[in-house]
Each structure stands twice: as structure tokens, then as C-alpha cells.
Structure 1
Amino acid sequence: MKKQYILPFFIALMSIFVIACDKDDDDNIQNEETARVRTVLQEGRWVIRQYKHDGVDRTTLFSDYVFQFDAGNVLRAAQGSTSHNGSWSVTADDDGPADLDLNIFFSGTVDLRALNEDWEIIRYTADRIEVADDYGDIDEDLLIFEKQ
């Protein structure tokens, strides 16, 4: 009687190991990539080179702001002598190991709240990061940060 349960139990156990190993590989890739993006963002001060919302260029709303992505997920937006604090994070989607989001949240000024989004990272370098609203087309909602 007990022998009939051993084979299904063994198959189920092996399936869990196979799935877990594949997930671990994806998690490692995601963790490495998110760490790289976090490092890039924390190394310097950033300005917005382009911001499009619903296909309309609204870059001038942020022409006076300088952004700093600090440790502890603190995002600072300085406009002259005025500073506004928000939060940021980089997360990996379940869609794949290289599908990363830049999450931005401000509760202060209306202008800065326009940036509140889970932005999909399109591409990044040491000096530039391009993100788009992951619900629409790239040319509908686009945000480009460049190092100052």
C-alpha cells in the first residue's frame, strides 16, 4: 500500500526542486541587475531631460529641479533652495529577469506627484536612464533622467 505513494511523492518533490532552481537563477539575475541600477542612480545628481505625459512634452515643468537618489530609498528633488523628499526603489517584475521598474513617489507638490509611477526601465547607462509608463506605449509616457 505504501509503495503506491512513493512514486507520486518522489515526482512531486523533484518538480519542486526543478522549479526552485530555475527561480533561483532568475532571482540572482534580477538581484544583480537591480543592484546595478540602484548603484548608477545613487552615483550623482540627475536632471530630467525629457518628460512626456499622454504624448505631450511637459519637460519644462521640471527644468529647475535636480534629483538625488539617496540610500534608504530617499529621493530628493531640489528646486533652488527648496527641497522636496519622496521615495524611490528599483524592483524586478515577474515578466522576466531583465524587466525592471523604477518606482517613484512624491506626496508634495503637484508637479512632482506627476512623476509618481512604477516606470518600466527601457535602458540605462552610467549617465542616463530612460523609463516609460508600463501601461502604455513608450512614446505616450516617457521620462528621461541624465546626470548633471
Structure 2
Amino acid sequence: MKRLILIVPVLLAFCTFSCKKYIQQQEQNAATAAITNGLWYVSDYKQNGSDITTAFSGYLFKFDPNSTVTAFTTSITVTGQWSDNIIARTVTANFPGAGAPLVYLNETWKITDSYTDSVAANCTDTVNHTTNILQLKKQ
């Protein structure tokens, strides 16, 4: 009987931990599937209140499950990396060596709203001391 009393809490703790990990993994899988399915474009970008959305005109973004993101226009292709953290509700992008406008995306973005076809996020650039607001939409 004493063994059973000791085993039950351990099993409950294990099950709770396992269930939570399973749910987190399913959320991660669903988010990755939504992000990597289709092409995205910048529908809104504000830097310190100034609308610079037109700087991204013609760019499309393809997020791959291997953490690669490709930005391209009819004449330019730039490859970078991306990662997400579902628990923290963040997405990080990095286009090494990229110039404007792609360099403006090299941040960890806090997701403020998301759907299967759009994502809104913001960040504060600690280097340039700018507040940035980004919205991506699926094409």
C-alpha cells in the first residue's frame, strides 16, 4: 500500500509533464505548418510611426521547415534564417549581410496577433532605438 501511495504521485506528475509536452509539440507543429505553407508578403511596416511598407514592395517570403527563409523579387533572391518560439510568442528572422529593407526584419518579433493567413508583430530595435510594427499576410 505504501508503494502505491508513492507511485501514484510520480505517475501523475509524469503524465502531467508528458501531456503538457505533447500539447506544446502539437502547437509547435501547427504553427510551423501554418508558417511554412505558402508565400508571405509585408502588408504593413512602421518604423517609429513612419510607414515604410513600400520599401518591401515586390518582396515575397518563403519560410521552410528547416529554418530557412527566402526573400525574393523578380530580380533578387536573399536567403536567411528564421525560428519561432510558440511559448514566448516570438519569431526571429536574420538575413546576414542584407541591406535595406531586409535588414529591418533582423529582429526577434513579439507576435501580437496571428491567424493562418496573417501575423502581426512588433519589436524594439535596441541598436537603432526604433519601435517597429510588422504585419505579414499570406499571398
Q: 1:21/1:119 Cα in 2 relative to 1: closer, same or farther (>3 Å)?
A: farther
Structure 1 spans left out of the alignment, 5+ residues: 1-9
Which range is displaced more, 41-50 or 109-118?
109-118
Match of 1:31? 25
Count of residues in correspondence between the two structures: 126
What TM-score results when the alignment is normalised by the length of structure 2? 0.76
On the 8 A contact 1:50/1:143 being kept in 2, the answer is: yes
Q: Which has the larger radius of gyration?
A: 1
On the 8 A contact 1:34/1:100 being kept in 2, the answer is: no
Residues 37-76 of structure 1 aligned to structure 2 (within 5 Å) = 37-76=31-70
Is it true that 1:118 corresponds to 2:118 in the alignment? no
Counterpart CA distance in 1 for 2:24 and 2:108 is: 16
| Alpha-carbon offset, residue 147 of structure 1 | 0.9
1:64 alignment partner, SS class: coil
RMSD: 2.6
Structure 2 spans left out of the alignment, 5+ residues: 1-5
Counterpart CA distance in 2 for 1:118 and 1:81 is: 27
What TM-score results when the alignment is normalised by the length of structure 1? 0.71
On the 8 A contact 1:74/1:88 being kept in 2, the answer is: yes
